[in-house]
Amino acid sequence: MRVHKWPKDLKPILSACKAASSIDKVHALMLSSGVFSHGTFNGQLITSYIRIGDIDIAHKVFDKSPKRGVDAWNAFIVHYSRQSRPVEVISLYQKMSLEEACASIGDTRMGLSVHGCIIRRDLLMDVALQTSLVDMYAKNGSLELASCVFRKMHRKSGVSWSALISGYAQNGVAEDALEFFIEMQCFGFKPDLVSLIVDILEKLEHEMSAVTMNPMNPKTEFMLNDLKEEV
């Protein structure tokens, strides 16, 4: 699998872009290389579009971002604050709080309460918020709920797939994790977390062999070896 080398910070590159066409080229490279799923890079991209006054494109990037870091939220909060638009600022703070809550909740019952609150308030369930729910349920071992939310997503990102796969792997369901990984690739996703996921699966392979003393399913072993060759 070809891996693109990116600098740790795109700010100097994007700051040098004076026109929308130049920023668009960086944006296109981010999408093709897989780093669009990185929250920090997205924030820098959004800030650049806002800087040149292309607010509509900045909104589209924000809404389609599979993972939004603090920089992405701050870019719009600062923009709307300067425009004296307090309603938008408050709305952004509320939504940011919900996503952060999903990321930090360690109890499924509390997660269900937050999920129910989102539904009752009829908040926009975009890909980033839905991914946060998948990640929250998966980390807490509620794999059926994580899978249910995931399957109902109209649009999925590489981060969405990775959240589900990591959840299954970390909860010891290695074969399902591998099958989801293969399914993800069939849909054309090439996340930048491949080596991490394979590392998790290799550890699980060792643990399963040590505990059960049973050989891994030949199909699963073939898929794992195939992934190792690609990374």
Query: pLDDT at position 40, please?
Result: 63
Query: pLDDT at position 92, please?
Result: 85
Query: pLDDT at position 179, please?
Result: 84
What pTM value is reported for the model? 0.65
Query: pLDDT at position 2, please?
Result: 43
For every residue of 62-122, DSSP letters joined together read: HHH-SS--HHHHHHHHHHHHHTT-HHHHHHHHHHHHHHHHHHH---HHHHHHHHHHHHHTT
The rounded average pLDDT for each run of 10 residues, N- to C-terminus, in the chain (231 residues) is 50 80 83 62 84 89 78 88 87 81 79 85 81 90 93 87 86 82 80 55 57 55 58 49
Query: pLDDT at position 146, please?
Result: 94
Query: pLDDT at position 119, please?
Result: 85
Query: pLDDT at position 107, please?
Result: 79
Q: Considering just the CA atoms, what is the radius of gyration of the chain in Å?
A: 19
Query: pLDDT at position 144, please?
Result: 94
Q: Tell me which DSSP letter residue 217 carries.
A: P
Query: pLDDT at position 1, please?
Result: 39
Query: pLDDT at position 213, please?
Result: 46
Query: Which is nearest to 139 in space by CA: 153, 131, 202?
Result: 131
Q: How far apart are the first and last CA of the chain?
A: 6
- Helix (H) or strand (E) holding 157, with range, is none
Query: pLDDT at position 206, please?
Result: 59
Query: pLDDT at position 200, please?
Result: 59
Going from N- to C-terminal start, the domains of the chain cover: 6-84
Q: Tell me which DSSP letter residue 134 carries.
A: H
